[in-house]
Amino acid sequence: MKNIYGCRLEDLEEFFLSISSRKFHALQLFSWLYDKRITSFSEITDMKKDDLEKLEQSFSLERLKIVDVQEDKDVLKYLFELFDGEHIEAVLMKHDYGNSICISSQVGCNMGCRFCESGRRKKVRNLEAYEMVLQLLMIEAMLGERISHVVVMGIGEPFDNYDELIRFLEIINHPKGLAIGARHITVSTCGIVPKILEFSDFPLQINLAISLHAPNNELRNQLMPINKAYPLEQLIPAVQTYVEKTNRRVTFEYILLKDFNDSVSCAEELSHLLKNINCYVNLIPYNETNNFEFKRTNTVQIMRFYDILKKNRMNVTIRKEFGGKISAACGQLRSKKEEL
């Protein structure tokens, strides 16, 4: 049985037409699902009994299971158990501009970035759209507050699950769905060039972030296997094409790793690499784990790197650090659960 939370409005319109009912019931159903937040089709009061019976026969309203929640200042990390027993995680961050959630798009990840806990345990499968939507719905329900911003940057490479990602984005952005503004949604990729180019034709004004983490191929090859398939000579032009077609600014994420990519020369090289792109750089202090050799760059070095980019007229921010007292790194909570 199909889970209803993976259906776009047009999917439900087709369903109602297929049962010889009225197309407008799809909008009514969206309102019951995402405004009134029903947990049973029997709660619907403005549809015929026959239609409700066919809904119950065709769709499930089943939710995921939250098996662990860890909390630190302004951050909550949730571990979900899926219907097949696999685990994913999502992180809720409280900002002055609202609540932001970082969600997973796959169970595990095959990209193999050397600093990333998510890739240490290989991809089991892609998430379906409903499994992504339910991460938002269930955390909103527990929190009792609206989530205003969404980042697809948790476990998995979103562009390695492109079709379900697009379905998810359309559902959460729809004004009768979760109504999250396109410019409040960000998708992060490690650099799958063909999908960056395809995404440039996607009509919604979704933000794009590139996990860069190195200013040259030599260092990036050591960190990110994807760079051997799509080196900077292909990645940077693809991003430039994206910016030109969409007229949107791109974010480059750069995790600072002590004595690896945090030198003065790296900062200068990064400034040169990105100088002609409408972008800003998000410097990320590293969340250390016991499973990798990399260490966090100290605050003095972070500020030195930041100052060099600023001097070179780059738009740059330093990401606020969350979750220092919990399993903060992406995939860390899942790994602990799976390795028990």
Shortest CA distance to 232 belongs to which of 246, 242, 218? 218
- 279 is annotated as an active-site residue: no
CB-based contacts of 43, cutoff 8 Å, min separation 6:
32, 36
How many helices (H) and strands (E) the chain has is answered by 12, 14
Together in a domain, 50 and 82: no
Structural domain that includes position 99: 65-338
Mean pLDDT of 236-249: 97
Q: How far apart are CA 69 and CA 92, in angstroms?
A: 11
Summarised one tens digit per residue, pLDDT across range 140-160 is 999 999 999 999 999 999 999
Residues 249, 120: one domain? yes
Q: Residue 310 — pLDDT band, cuts 50, 70, 90?
A: very high
Output the domain CATH number for residue 43.
1.10.150.530
On the question of pLDDT at 166 being above 80, the answer is yes
Lowest mean pLDDT among 113-117, 192-196, 218-222, 270-274: 113-117
Residue 253 appears among annotated catalytic residues = no
> How many domains, the chain?
2
In angstroms, the CA 128 to CA 142 distance is 22
Q: Are 115 and 294 in contact (CB under 8 A)?
A: yes
- Binned at pLDDT 50, 70 and 90, residue 339 comes out as very low
Q: How confident is the model at residue 308 (pLDDT cuts 50, 70, 90)?
A: very high
Rg (CA), the chain: 21
What digits encode the pLDDT tens for the residues 91-104? 999 999 999 999 99
Would you state the pLDDT for residue 333? 58
CATH assignment at residue 190: 3.20.20.70
Bigger pLDDT: 327 vs 9: 9
Task: Give yes or no for residue 124 having a pLDDT over 60.
Answer: yes
Say what the pLDDT of residue 98 is: 93
Pick the last residue of a domain from 60, 80, 110.
Answer: 60
Q: Which residue in the list 102, 266, 279, 330 is annotated as catalytic?
A: 330
Shared domain for 32 and 76, answered yes or no, is no
pLDDT > 70 fraction of the chain, expressed in percent and rounded: 94
pLDDT at position 170 is 97
- Whether 83 and 227 map to the same domain: the answer is yes
Q: Model's pTM, two decimal places? A: 0.93
Q: Is the same domain home to 36 and 69? A: no
Q: 36 with 116, same domain?
A: no
Where is the domain boundary, 45, 60, 75? 60
- Spot the catalytic one: 7, 13, 89, 190: 89
